[in-house]
Amino acid sequence: MAKPKIIFSDFDGTLTERGLISPALFDVFELSHRLDSEMIVVTGRPLSWSHFLMSHTPLKASISEGGGVISIREGKRFKDVYLAPKEDIEKLKSITRILFNEISDFYLSDDSTGRITDRAIELDYIELGDNEERITEILDANEVNYSKSNVHLNFWVGDISKKNSVEYYLENYSTYNKDECIYFGDSLNDQSVFSWMENSVGVSNISRVLKVLKHKPATILQGNNNKEIHGVKNYLKSLLK
Contacts to Mg ion by CB under 5 A: 10, 12-13, 150, 186-187
Helix, strand and coil percent figures for the chain, each rounded to 5: 40, 20, 35
CB of 66 to Mg ion, least distance (A): 10
Beta strands 38-42 and 200-202, pairing class: unpaired
Secondary structure of residue 38 in the 3-state scheme: strand
| Beta carbon nearer to Mg ion, 180 or 228 | 228
Other Cβ atoms closer than 10 A to 145: 16
C-alpha–C-alpha distance, residues 157 and 149, integer Å: 17
Distances (CA, A) of 129 to 134, 143, 183, 207, 216: 9, 22, 33, 24, 28
C-alpha–C-alpha distance, residues 172 and 81, integer Å: 11
CB of 193 to Mg ion, least distance (A): 12
CB of 39 to Mg ion, least distance (A): 16
CB of 2 to Mg ion, least distance (A): 26
| Beta carbon nearer to Mg ion, 13 or 202 | 13
C-alpha–C-alpha distance, residues 188 and 213, integer Å: 6
| Beta carbon nearer to Mg ion, 32 or 187 | 187
Picking from 209, 173, 175, 176, the residue whose alpha carbon sits closest to that of residue 194 is 209
Output the residue with the shortest Cβ distance to Mg ion. Answer: 13
| Beta carbon nearer to Mg ion, 180 or 186 | 186
C-alpha–C-alpha distance, residues 28 and 229, integer Å: 8
| Beta carbon nearer to Mg ion, 174 or 195 | 195
CB of 124 to Mg ion, least distance (A): 13
CB of 76 to Mg ion, least distance (A): 30
| Beta carbon nearer to Mg ion, 99 or 197 | 197
